[in-house]
Amino acid sequence: MKSEKGSPAYIYIFALLAMIFWGMSFIWTSIVFDYYPPITTIFLRLVISSTFLFIILTVSGFLQRIRREHFLLFLLSAVFNPFFYFLGENYGLKYSTPSISAVVIATIPLFTPFAAWFMIREKVSRLNIAGIMISFTGILVMLIKPDFSFATDPLGVILLLLAVISAVIYSILLKRLTKHYTPVNIIAWQNLLGVIFFLPLFLILDFGEFIAVVPDSRLLIALFSLAIIASSLAYVLFATTIKHIGVSRANVYSNLIPVTTVIASYFILDEIFTGRKVLGIVIVILGVFITQINKLRNK
């Protein structure tokens, strides 16, 4: 079965599943936070994910070794993602809500063209500028009440923006790695480097609290869902999507991440949604979509 664009129809199912899984990751992370602090959550997520991916790659015979000339590039990319990205995302989520966190993270496609212009002088369109202004308006609608007080801790938003900036820089570095390695190998090695980066923080800050927790089924399901589904399977599905329909069209599906999180937050976490928050979410998603219009037309 083929789509009207010539790509297999299942590719679009892969894209939808990846976005649903990433949208659910904010819910699973919130559940794990009931047991562990952010550093432990990130560390365990990366340990499980990298172990799973290396087993799959080794058994299938598709494991690629890092070449000496690419080691510094791998190291630098892993500093931005998963290290800085997960620090910003997880601590941002701790001081915010799943829905607001997902919406801020969904602005990553807005900032990527600006980073590309700065680093490799790619052209920035007027739609990119318009989209980022619209999305920032939506974020302000969610964060600021009519009396100009904050509806959520601004520290959470600042940390989430750190995650956004880290992801944008990472995406530029990733382009160089994809010329030499498969996406699954890149993710596996970067997650392993992330384990090494987070190990000292885990041992110094969280180890005592970690060993005091007795895991139950609720924790284990959320933790393994984060590691296997969100940090492994979703990336493989999305990489396959990019291979068939390209980065531009695949990025449009990122609009579904906050939608998934909002719906799941309401039914699973009983998060309260005001009219202002819903309006802000809609405005942010609209801004992200506007930046993709030209890319869709060119496909």
pLDDT digit string (tens) for the chain, length 299 residues: 444 445 677 888 888 899 899 999 999 999 999 999 999 999 999 999 999 999 999 999 999 999 999 999 999 999 999 999 999 999 999 998 898 888 888 778 777 666 666 765 556 667 767 777 887 788 778 777 776 666 678 899 899 999 999 988 887 787 788 788 888 898 899 999 999 999 999 999 999 999 999 999 999 999 999 999 998 898 888 877 777 776 656 666 777 788 888 888 888 988 877 788 788 878 877 877 776 665 555 55
Reduced to 3 states (helix: H, G, I; strand: E, B; else coil), residue 17 is: helix
User: Is there a domain that residue 167 lies in?
Assistant: yes
Write down the residue that tokens 């799973």 correspond to.
Answer: 52
pTM for the full model?
A: 0.83
Domain around 232: 9-297
User: Is there a domain that residue 73 lies in?
Assistant: yes
Q: Residue 165: name the closest of 118, 126, 120, 115 by CA.
A: 115
User: Is there a domain that residue 35 lies in?
Assistant: yes
Q: Residue 45: name the closest of 79, 86, 101, 84 by CA.
A: 86
For the CA atoms of 46, 263, 89, 285, the dihedral, rounded to the nearest 10 degrees, stands at 130
User: Is there a domain that residue 4 lies in?
Assistant: no
User: Is there a domain that residue 257 lies in?
Assistant: yes
User: Is there a domain that residue 1 lies in?
Assistant: no
Reduced to 3 states (helix: H, G, I; strand: E, B; else coil), residue 106 is: coil
98 contacts 271 by C-beta, under 8 angstroms: yes
User: Is there a domain that residue 2 lies in?
Assistant: no
Domains: count for the chain? 1
User: Is there a domain that residue 68 lies in?
Assistant: yes
54 contacts 248 by C-beta, under 8 angstroms: no
